[in-house]
């Protein structure tokens, strides 16, 4: 963002831009102060955005850089020109692997079906059941855990406690203390976590001593180098709760 | 001293930005800038090396969308118009700064460069710079490979037929343009999910690249780490990126490109000179854009930049190439005693980094190649195919889900700003497979509509859109393009299902999104 570009806006427009950037209060500020404030905010948000980026991503980003003023480019985003449906009125849940600990799920319930579900006697809640076929029990002592969802929800990030595991999501509901499945996602498998390997003593997984040697120095170093970029901390707040009631599978 | 291999891989890609209905638009400049600043300068370097009899082997991936644009008549014509405006600006600059010795030299440098670019493109390559890459392949210098048809981030797609078509269409187009089938495949963003190798194998692709942890976390864990490839259980080879050498080149702060002697990217006359003067050369409505004429050096962390000194910058590029090679030699020496064969260091980069962002990048590559060629006993530059020919026996392992994005997985392309796209992309993919199977022998208008629906669906899958939404440059454009292709697909889908195809609207789309002219929708029937 350049000062000159901001200069071309009226005071009211500048205030609007400032508010858009979350800068409050803007009343009472003179033009110069407002300009400084907005410039600084653009700079901060850019730095913040770039902070987490890996080097290839930072490099790639330069490729798309055309103008220092593009934050304000008055380009239409096609909302009116190219309408697309919010949903496709189908009963479906899809899971996507994001990293060793997080998956993204989106879902939809066909309108008629949703109405029927809501009218089920003693309907309690819609839920996502996260299930693994592997020999793992979650905190609730079951090979699944549940996440209650609201009818207005359509997608969530889901925290998966165990990396390197296969999961299937079920979209279902509870009525009268009983669990009913509406649909299932395709199975997904999360990657093993790179960070857990760092803590492990070299050569832990393999028997022969030769391999333990190979794991020393340069290879080890390049391993930890690449792991720096592969740790899977996440800024997304965890949204997962276990349903208190005992769920029975149909 | 021990011997090792260096595989330099340049991945060139831009999304399909072609719009016959709009006279001049911002995003078209992605292509124009890359032609002037990256593709032609790289070709120039390669030609110079050939002329001097310097042998080299380099892997270059050219995405199908980029290749299509470089061969498109309309875009070739528009590029020349763009270049002519640039030459005019450079001429005016030569006049404007006449008398100011250093500046005048720089202005002349740009004028000569741009005129040289015009000359090369129109006479040497007859308008089609892919001919240059093809000739270098024929002479044995380049190994040309491809990537997914519209640069789709494959781990987030769930429809196998569509993933397969992303590979198949890319291979078909590559073969048509470059006469030879590609031997390897660039996974966009190094995005790998277990099983993708099956699609590569089906289309006779022998290798791909992935980020280091994709190999290091493979099962069983490969003994040579990333310094030798592994075979997936189906025999396709996976080569791991070396982070140490990559960082030296990628990092603007700690790597070579940030050196004070190099050209500063952000001081462009498009921003530095009065609006009325640069008006004809920037974007309509007075939106200032980079023109490519930049007079200042990085200098340091200061706003007071000193003038760029070309000779000094080129000396530095040579020094940095030397430094890079010395570091690789040391790296190889550390590794060699622990391996049963010469270690391989794989260095993949986005091609557009060189020349566009790092102005001296092409000359750095040139120096690197010359220096390596002068001392083949220590470092031999080769391609993955060369390596596999020399060392056909490799460990077998299952690589791990990975990418070269933030934290190493899928989060750049799957986060709050862009996760909304997948509901639509997946639905379009599913519907495409459905209509391809339903209308197996469509003819006439319906066939055209099915083919165009496939193009729109493929274009919606470009990783660029999600990437831009996340990284925050030209976001409205990325949102609009995603919406546009999904909208176009849905409209075509409905019209195909109800057999009410609007011929005029279809023709308009066919003229606008001309990608994959030979596409046959039946590819999607599986």
Asked if A94 and B158 touch (Cβ cutoff 8 Å), the reply is yes
| A197 near B CB under 8 A | yes
The position carrying tokens 């005019």 is B88
CB-based contact A191 B331, cutoff 8 Å: no
Catalytic positions of B, written as ranges: 189, 350
User: Among candidates B10, B397, B450, which has minimal Cα distance to B230?
Assistant: B397
CA distance B77 to A212: 60
Token readout for B351 is 């091609």
- A 34-73: CB under 8 A from B: 46, 49-50, 52-71, 73
Residue B328: other Cβ atoms inside 10 A: 24
Our CA-based measurement puts residue B250 at a distance from the nearest CA of chain A, in whole angstroms, of 6
| B247 near A CB under 8 A | yes
CA distance B417 to B465: 11
For B39, B41, B47, B56, B181, the CA distances from B125, given in Å and listed in that order, are: 12, 13, 12, 21, 22
Q: What is the pLDDT of residue B287?
A: 83
Asked if B240 and B211 touch (Cβ cutoff 8 Å), the reply is yes
Q: Which of A84, A197, A222 sits opposite B243 (nearest CB)?
A: A222
Query: For an interface test with B, which of A65, A197, A215 has the most B Cβ atoms less than 10 Å from its Cβ?
Result: A65
By the 10 Å C-beta count (0-12 exposed, 13-18 middle, 19+ buried), B477 is classed as: buried
Q: What is the pLDDT of residue A242?
A: 35
CB-based contact A191 B400, cutoff 8 Å: yes
CA distance B127 to B133: 13
B304-327 pLDDT, tens per residue?
999 999 999 999 999 999 999 999
Pairing of strands B230-231, A178-184: unpaired
Helices (H), B179-224: 196-202, 212-216
| B194 near A CB under 8 A | yes
Q: What secondary structure does DSSP assign to B23-89, as a single string?
A: SS-TTHHHHHHHIIIIIHHHHHHHHHHHHTT----EEEEE-HHHHHHHT-HHHHHHHHHHHHHHHHH
B501-512 pLDDT, tens per residue?
999 999 999 999
Residue B329: other Cβ atoms inside 10 A: 18
User: Among candidates B153, B134, B152, B151, which has minimal Cα distance to B143?
Assistant: B134
| Ordered per-residue pLDDT tens for chain A, 250 residues | 677 777 778 888 888 888 877 887 777 888 888 888 888 888 887 787 777 888 889 888 888 888 776 656 557 788 889 999 999 999 999 999 999 999 999 999 999 999 999 999 999 999 999 999 888 889 889 999 999 999 999 999 999 999 999 999 999 999 999 999 999 999 999 999 875 444 333 333 322 333 333 333 444 555 444 444 443 333 333 343 333 333 333 3
B166-190 pLDDT, tens per residue?
999 999 999 999 999 999 999 999 9
User: pTM for this one?
Assistant: 0.91
**Which has the minimum average pLDDT: A234-243, B125-134, B419-428?**
A234-243
Residue B78: other Cβ atoms inside 10 A: 18
Pairing of strands B230-231, B395-396: parallel
Which helix (DSSP H) or strand (DSSP E) does residue B247 occupy? Answer: helix B243-250
Residue B277: other Cβ atoms inside 10 A: 13
Our CA-based measurement puts residue A217 at a distance from the nearest CA of chain B, in whole angstroms, of 8
User: Which bin fits B132, alpha (ψ -120 to 50), beta or left (φ > 0)?
Assistant: alpha
At B278, the pLDDT band (50, 70, 90 cuts) reads very high
Residue A198: other Cβ atoms inside 10 A: 14
Closest chain A residue to B477 measured between Cα atoms?
A77
Q: What is the pLDDT of residue B525?
A: 94
- B157 has a pLDDT exceeding 60: yes
| A80 near B CB under 8 A | no
Closest chain B residue to A216 measured between Cα atoms?
B338
């Amino acid at each position: 963002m350049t000062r000159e570009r901001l200069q071309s806006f009226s005071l009211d427009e500048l205030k609007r831009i400032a508010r858009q950037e979350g800068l409050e209060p803007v009343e009472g500020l003179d033009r110069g102060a407002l300009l400084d404030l907005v410039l600084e905010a653009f700079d901060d948000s850019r730095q913040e955005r770039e902070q987490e980026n890996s080097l290839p991503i930072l490099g790639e980003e330069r490729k798309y850089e055309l103008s220092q003023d593009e934050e304000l480019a008055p380009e239409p985003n096609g909302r009116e020109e190219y309408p697309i449906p919010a949903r496709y009125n189908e009963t479906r849940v899809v899971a996507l692997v994001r990293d060793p600990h997080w998956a993204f799920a989106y879902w939809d319930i066909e309108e008629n079906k949703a109405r029927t579900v809501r009218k089920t006697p003693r309907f309690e809640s819609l839920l996502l059941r996260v299930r693994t076929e592997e020999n793992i029990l979650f905190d609730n002592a079951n090979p699944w855990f549940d996440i209650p969802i609201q009818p207005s929800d359509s997608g969530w990030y889901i925290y998966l406690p165990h990396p390197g595991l296969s999961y299937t999501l079920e979209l279902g509901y509870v009525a009268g203390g009983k669990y009913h499945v509406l649909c299932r996602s395709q199975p997904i498998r999360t990657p093993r976590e790179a960070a857990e390997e760092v803590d492990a003593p070299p050569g832990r997984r393999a028997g022969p001593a030769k391999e333990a040697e190979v794991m020393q120095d340069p290879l080890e170093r390049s391993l930890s180098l690449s792991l720096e970029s592969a740790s899977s901390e996440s800024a997304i707040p965890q949204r997962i709760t276990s349903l208190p009631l005992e769920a029975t599978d149909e | 001293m021990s011997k090792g291999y260096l595989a330099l891989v340049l991945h060139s890609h831009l999304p399909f930005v072609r719009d016959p209905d709009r006279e001049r638009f911002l995003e078209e400049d992605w292509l124009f800038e890359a032609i002037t600043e990256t593709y032609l300068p790289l070709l120039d370097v390669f030609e110079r090396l050939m002329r001097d009899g310097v042998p080299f082997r380099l892997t270059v991936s050219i995405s199908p969308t980029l290749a299509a644009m470089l061969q498109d008549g309309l875009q070739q014509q528009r590029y020349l118009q763009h270049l002519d405006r640039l030459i005019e600006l450079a001429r005016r600059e030569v006049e404007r700064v006449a008398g100011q010795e250093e500046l005048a030299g720089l202005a002349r440098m740009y004028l000569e460069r741009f005129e040289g670019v015009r000359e090369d493109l129109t006479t040497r390559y007859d308008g089609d710079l892919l001919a240059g890459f093809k000739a270098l392949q024929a002479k044995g210098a380049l190994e040309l490979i491809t990537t997914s048809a519209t640069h789709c981030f494959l781990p987030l797609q769930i429809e196998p037929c569509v993933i397969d078509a992303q590979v198949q269409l890319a291979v078909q187009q590559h073969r048509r343009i470059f006469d030879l089938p590609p031997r390897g495949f660039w996974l966009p963003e190094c995005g790998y999910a277990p099983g993708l190798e099956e699609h590569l194998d089906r289309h006779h692709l022998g290798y791909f690249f992935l980020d280091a942890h994709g190999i290091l976390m493979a099962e069983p864990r490969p003994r040579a780490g990333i310094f030798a490839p592994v075979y997936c259980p189906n025999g396709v080879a996976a080569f791991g990126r070396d982070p140490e050498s990559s960082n030296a080149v990628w990092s603007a702060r700690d790597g070579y490109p940030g050196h004070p002697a190099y050209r500063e990217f952000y001081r462009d006359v498009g921003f530095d000179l009065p609006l009325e003067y640069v008006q004809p050369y920037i974007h309509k409505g007075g939106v200032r854009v980079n023109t490519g004429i930049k007079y200042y050096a990085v200098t340091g962390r200061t706003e007071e930049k000193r003038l760029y000194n070309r000779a000094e910058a080129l000396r530095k590029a040579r020094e940095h190439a030397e430094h890079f090679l010395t570091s690789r030699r040391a790296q190889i020496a550390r590794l060699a005693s622990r391996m049963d064969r010469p270690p391989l260091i794989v260095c993949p980069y986005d091609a557009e980094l060189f020349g566009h962002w790092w102005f001296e990048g092409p000359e750095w590559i040139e120096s690197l190649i010359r220096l390596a060629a002068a001392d083949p006993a220590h470092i031999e530059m080769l391609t993955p195919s060369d390596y596999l020919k020399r060392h056909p026996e490799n460990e077998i392992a299952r690589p791990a889900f990975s990418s070269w994005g933030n934290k190493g997985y899928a989060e750049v392309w799957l986060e709050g700003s862009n996760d909304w796209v997948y509901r639509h992309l997946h639905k379009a993919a599913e519907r495409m497979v459905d209509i391809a199977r339903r209308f197996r022998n469509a003819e006439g208008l319906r066939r055209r509509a099915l083919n165009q629906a496939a193009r729109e669906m493929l274009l919606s899958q470009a990783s660029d859109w999600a990437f831009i939404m996340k990284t925050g440059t030209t976001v409205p454009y990325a949102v609009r393009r995603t919406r546009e292709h999904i909208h176009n697909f849905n409209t075509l889908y409905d019209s195909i299902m109800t057999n009410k195809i609007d011929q005029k609207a279809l023709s308009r789309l066919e003229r606008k999104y001309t990608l994959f002219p030979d596409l046959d929708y039946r590819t999607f029937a599986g």
